[in-house]
Amino acid sequence: MTSGHRWAFKARFRARSYGWRGSALASKRLKEAVREINSVAKSDRVLAAEGCVSLMERLWPALEDIDTSSGALGGAIHRTLAELIPILISAPADVKTRGAWLERLFQAVLDDGVQYLAPVEERWGEIAAYPELMAEYAERLHALIRRVWVNEPPGGYVTGTAICLSCLLEAGRYGDLIELLACARKKWWHWHHFGAEALARQGAWDAAIAYVDGCRTPQGYDDRRIDRFCEGVLIKSGRADDAYHRYGLKAATGPTYLAIFRETIKRYPDRDRRQVLLDLIETRGERGKWFAAAKDAGLLDIALLCARDDAAEPATLVRAARDFDAKDPKFAAEIGVVALGRLLNGGGYDPEVALVQQAFGHLRDAASRIGARDWAMQQVQALVDVPCHSSRKHFQCVLAQCLARCGE
């Protein structure tokens, strides 16, 4: 039974619960709600799924007044749904219970002012689970979508289009799906990836790739997602090497270049990590920004090459000189010299003069560990003697003072 349970999150997600500046608080409350649902899922998966539905149908009414321009709230909702949807899909609910959930969610989709529930629509067929429920929602929307795409003026949109497409896909009605998509006036990734997936599930690998390539636009809005789909198709078809060279080096995403490198080697664990990094640098460019990836991978010779590129951030180099002072002083000393050179030549985003002092100290200490103190001071003297960037003359003066004090 799912009745009688009191969800704590419901009190925090009443209509218009949050004001214009409520993004941070709402994101915190979403995390708390997910924890509550996950806790219940350990003992009662059907009740947990009921909680998922209750939270999903409250999202728009509770959050509609919040300023979403920063994107923070949208990201929090996306992460929330990514955790909740699998709970909802896997719950061992009977067809009546699941049908009631879908009706509530469908109304929530209709009321949703900014498509917070788009990820739910995308996986509607999986959430429906039962063939009769998939058929119900496919038929509910199929005729309307066809009429809007074929008979009405361009620009018309049917709320729930992805619901219909998802149900046709999961029901295995591939022919009906492709036929309906053919009625659309243009190929759009958000819709046509369902058609490409239908072709892939039938083993038509190259046809699936060609189909989804037709969704590319001159602006390249969806290129990264299309590349990831095509990469996955080739891997499933046993053509991992082809997937790597055609799409893998472009498809990985992440907040940092280190994250992109880790994601790529995770998808291709059998490939040489050193060569993967070199391939990423060659494919994506901006060699200096791959310094952290090379350093953390232990590929210090590549890291040194990256450090000498203009795109390398001096503050990152100074931290590396500090971190490697004891475990690899030769590398730390070389990085320290490069960091000082970059600082004097105008590199970095508004660095503080203290960074020069820190870089000099790490260089001195690392060089002393390997008996290369004289070499290090010669490198610093050379930087002091040559002209520097006009905006960094005070940096050069500070470095000269550090050198003088060291000599004393």
Positive or negative, the CA dihedral 216, 217, 222, 227 is positive
End-to-end Cα spacing for the chain = 81
Q: How many CB atoms lie within 10 A of CB 291?
A: 27
The whole-number pLDDT of residue 271 equals 94
Positive or negative, the CA dihedral 65, 26, 109, 226 is positive
CB 268 within 8 A of CB 248: yes
The whole-number pLDDT of residue 408 equals 64
Report the distance separating Cα 287 and Cα 259, nearest Å.
15
Could you tell me which residues come within 8 angstroms of residue 295 by beta carbon, excluding any fewer than 6 positions away? 303, 320
Report the distance separating Cα 303 and Cα 295, nearest Å.
5
CB 18 within 8 A of CB 25: yes
The whole-number pLDDT of residue 1 equals 44
Report the distance separating Cα 32 and Cα 44, nearest Å.
18
From residue 28, give the alpha-carbon distance in Å to each of 14, 70, 293: 15, 16, 31
Which tokens hold the place of 340? Answer: 């000082």
Could you tell me which residues come within 8 angstroms of residue 106 by beta carbon, excluding any fewer than 6 positions away? 137, 160, 163
Q: How many CB atoms lie within 10 A of CB 286?
A: 13
Q: How many CB atoms lie within 10 A of CB 298?
A: 11
SS (H, E, C) the chain: CCCCCCCHHHHHCCCCCCCCCCHHHHHHHHHHHHHHHHHHHCCCHHHHHHHHHHHHCCHHHHHCCCCCCCCHHHHHHHHHHHHHHHHHHHCCCCHHHHHHHHHHHHHHHHHCCCCCCHHHHHCHHHHHCCHHHHHHHHHHHHHHHHHHHHCCCCCCCCCCHHHHHHHHHHCCCHHHHHHHHCCCCCCCHHHHHHHHHHHHHCCCHHHHHHHHHCCCCCCCCCHHHHHHHHHHHHHHCCCHHHHHHHHHHHHCCCCCHHHHHHHHHHHCCCCCHHHHHHHHHHHHCCHHHHHHHHHHCCCHHHHHHHHCCCCCCHHHHHHHHHHCCCCCHHHHHHHHHHHHHHHHCCCCCCCCCHHHHHHHHHHHHHHHHCCCHHHHHHHHHHHHHCCCCHHHHHHHHHHHHHHHHHHC
The whole-number pLDDT of residue 3 equals 58
Taking only the tens of pLDDT, the chain with its 408 residues reads 445 789 999 999 999 999 999 999 999 999 999 999 999 999 999 999 999 999 999 999 999 999 999 999 999 999 999 999 999 999 999 999 999 999 999 999 999 999 999 999 999 999 999 999 999 999 999 999 999 999 988 888 899 999 999 999 999 999 999 999 999 988 899 999 999 999 999 999 999 999 999 999 888 888 999 999 999 999 999 999 999 999 999 988 888 899 999 999 999 999 999 999 999 999 998 899 999 999 998 999 999 999 999 888 999 999 999 999 888 999 999 999 999 999 898 888 888 889 898 999 999 899 999 999 889 899 989 998 888 888 888 888 988 888 888 866
Which pTM does this prediction carry? 0.81
Q: Could you give the angle at which helices 23-41 and 72-90 cross, rounded to 10 degrees? A: 10
Report the distance separating Cα 19 and Cα 40, nearest Å.
29
